[in-house]
Amino acid sequence: MENMSYWKEVWERKGNGNTKSLEELDGYEDTSADVKEIARQIVKELDIKETDKVLEVACGAGGLAQYIKCGEYVGVDYSSSLVKRHIELLNNSVLHGEANNLIFKDKTFDKVICFGAFHYFPNQEYAKQAISELKRVAKEAIFIGDLPLSSHRDTHLLYDKKDFDGWKVMDGYYNPCRFNVSLKLR
Ligand SMILES: C[S@@+](CC[C@H](N)C(=O)[O-])C[C@H]1O[C@@H](n2cnc3c(N)ncnc32)[C@H](O)[C@@H]1O
């Protein structure tokens, strides 16, 4: 784990624990988040249909994925231990990779989700690259959730609603210091 960033190391360690709880593996254990309800709201916001091909970037062990019913689900995460757990526990198609460098061709997915990950990114430049990758691989719509306006942790990258000009900006689902955004591409 030499040269690994602080958060990357945290998420790598997370997947090596003994728990089989997807919520715990994905870091929701100390929050008031109702992950099933969050998934329901995202499915509604993006109008995810049972025929849609969906990509979840920063999918973790599948805390959210377990509640997303769609035609085809693909996940990507930079924590190899969480990718392994996700495959073991949900048998989804999940790849190891960074949010700012997706291996997919343009417009591969109908809908693209990234929830609860942007505050772990190393800097704003990385976040811009990730947004442009989400836009590149999506055909119809994108949802980015749980963006922090402020945080009790100085290791969290913060965002401003003004950074999302042209996007639909919504309140966070369980934390008033967070917000969500979505973008329809057609
Ligand atoms: C709070 S968990 C959320 C997991 C999942 N989206 C959910 O809601 O259940 C954050 C996840 O983001 C992943 N992550 C953080 N930064 C990432 C990056 N730059 N590229 C890919 N994955 C990343 C972590 O490994 C972790 O699995």
Nearest Cα residue to atom 8 of ligand 1: 64
pLDDT at 186: 81
Tokens representing 46 are 């993006």
The residue whose C-alpha atom lies closest to atom 10 belonging to ligand 1 is: 117
pLDDT tens by residue, 85-131: 999 999 999 999 999 999 999 999 999 999 999 999 999 999 999 99
pLDDT at site 3? 55
Tokens found for residue 151 = 């945080």
The encoded tokens of residue 28 equal 């929701």
Which residue type is seen at 141? A
Atom of ligand 1 nearest to the CA of 28: 1
Distances (CA, A) of 67 to 48, 114, 166: 12, 15, 29
pLDDT of residue 2: 45
Query: Residue 116: its pLDDT value, please?
Result: 98
Q: Which domains does the chain have, with CATH numbers?
A: 6-184 (3.40.50.150)
Q: Quick one: angle between helices 80-90 and 6-14, nearest 10?
A: 30
- Ligand 1 atom index nearest CA of 58: 22
- Contacts (Cβ under 8 Å, ≥6 apart) of 1: 9, 12
Ranges of residues in the chain with a pLDDT under 50 are 1-2
Q: Is the dihedral of CA 88, 44, 76, 69 positive or negative?
A: positive
